């Protein structure tokens, strides 16, 4: 008998603990399929966050490490530096990555640490009961914004891919969704590319997945998909926000050097007079 569909080898046989309609299960499978197809399970190391996906270490067959809330990028950095040949990925929600872990997120990306981040953006805190997150939309009702997010008090949502794409250490920043079969295929390609870029040592890579949370949105799974399309995707449009190869560079460091080339810091002789007696002007 020809097998046309089966559980990826990089997933264990444990049943997922996620709510009906939650996107985590789809994304887990895409990561596992990418690991299988690239043949990297033996050197892959995943970092589990705090949040709904806290039990990710139960679901993946590769080596897994549990990090404290928001510290997954720091843990991933330590593992990658200690074992440079490993393929290290952190799996984080918007509260973990963009709130308590924002400092780690920014600095790990800025340093160009050669890790991959899978970022689940469902615009809300999931495990802790549905509070407002850094990605919660203006006017969106949550447990801690019952009248809707007030930007005068709480500020505006943070667009992570747009933010990180400005940092020199980033090799790939792509936002995807998993609401349709076509978008699921696109998301898988993005995850696979992120792992490939890491293996080539190009720099920091992140794939943001705009996702559903039917339980905390107070919607059915089908209604949640509609809400995602009507509200989240217009505010967080899918697309490639940084790809150093597509920009014509070998890696993030080369792209950074090109931007720095016009600076006098890059050329110690720039701005000095003929006698070397200081800056002109």
Q: Where are the domains of the chain?
A: 24-248, 251-281
State the sign of the Cα–Cα–Cα–Cα dihedral 246, 233, 205, 183. Answer: negative
Burial of 171 (0-12, 13-18, 19+ CB in 10 A): buried
DSSP β-bridge partners for residue 63: 45
- The average pLDDT across 40-53 equals 95
Class of domain 24-248 (CATH, top level): alpha beta
| Predicted local distance difference test score (pLDDT) of residue 93 | 94
What are the DSSP E strand ranges found in the chain?
44-48, 63-66, 87-93, 116-121, 170-177, 204-210, 239-243
| pLDDT tens digits, 48-79 | 999 899 999 999 999 999 999 999 999 999 99
Mean pLDDT taken over the chain: 93
* Longest CA pairwise span in the chain (Å): 82
Residue 51 backbone phi and psi in degrees, to 5: 145, -160
| Predicted local distance difference test score (pLDDT) of residue 279 | 45
- How many helical (H) and strand (E) elements, i.e. helices and strands, does the chain have? 12, 7
| Predicted local distance difference test score (pLDDT) of residue 271 | 52
Token representation of residue 257: 């050097």
pLDDT score of 280 more than 80: no
Q: Both ends of the chain: CA-CA distance in Å? A: 80
| pLDDT tens digits, 77-91 | 999 999 999 999 999
Q: pLDDT category, 276, cuts 50, 70, 90?
A: very low
| pLDDT tens digits, 8-20 | 999 999 999 999 9
pLDDT score of 275 more than 60: no
Distance CA 74, CA 38 (A): 25
| Predicted local distance difference test score (pLDDT) of residue 270 | 52
Three-state SS at 222: helix
Distance CA 109, CA 104 (A): 8
């Amino acid at each position: 008998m020809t097998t046309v569909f089966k559980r990826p080898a990089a997933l264990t046989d444990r049943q997922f603990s996620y709510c009906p309609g939650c996107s985590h299960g789809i994304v887990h499978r895409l990561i596992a399929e990418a690991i299988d197809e690239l043949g990297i399970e033996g050197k892959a190391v995943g970092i589990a966050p705090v949040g709904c996906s806290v039990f990710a270490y139960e679901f993946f067959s590769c080596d897994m490490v549990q990090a404290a809330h928001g510290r997954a990028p720091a843990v991933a950095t330590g593992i990658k530096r200690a074992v440079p040949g490993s393929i290290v990925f952190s799996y984080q929600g918007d509260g973990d990555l963009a709130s308590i872990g924002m400092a780690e997120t920014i600095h790990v990306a800025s340093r160009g640490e050669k890790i991959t981040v899978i970022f689940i953006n469902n615009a809300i805190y999931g495990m802790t009961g549905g509070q407002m997150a850094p990605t919660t939309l203006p006017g969106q009702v949550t447990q801690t914004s019952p009248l809707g997010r007030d930007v005068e008090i709480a500020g505006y949502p943070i667009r992570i891919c747009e933010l990180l794409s400005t940092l020199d250490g980033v090799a790939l920043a792509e936002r995807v969704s998993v609401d349709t079969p076509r978008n699921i295929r696109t998301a898988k390609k993005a995850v696979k590319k992120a792992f490939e870029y890491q293996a080539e040592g190009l720099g920091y890579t992140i794939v943001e997945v705009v996702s559903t949370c039917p339980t905390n949105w107070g919607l059915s799974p089908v209604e949640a998909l509609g809400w995602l399309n009507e509200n989240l995707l217009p505010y967080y449009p899918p697309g490639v926000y940084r790809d150093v190869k597509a920009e014509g560079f070998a890696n993030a460091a080369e792209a950074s050097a090109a931007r720095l080339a016009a600076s006098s810091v890059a050329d110690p002789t720039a701005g000095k007079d003929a006698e070397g007696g200081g800056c002109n002007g």
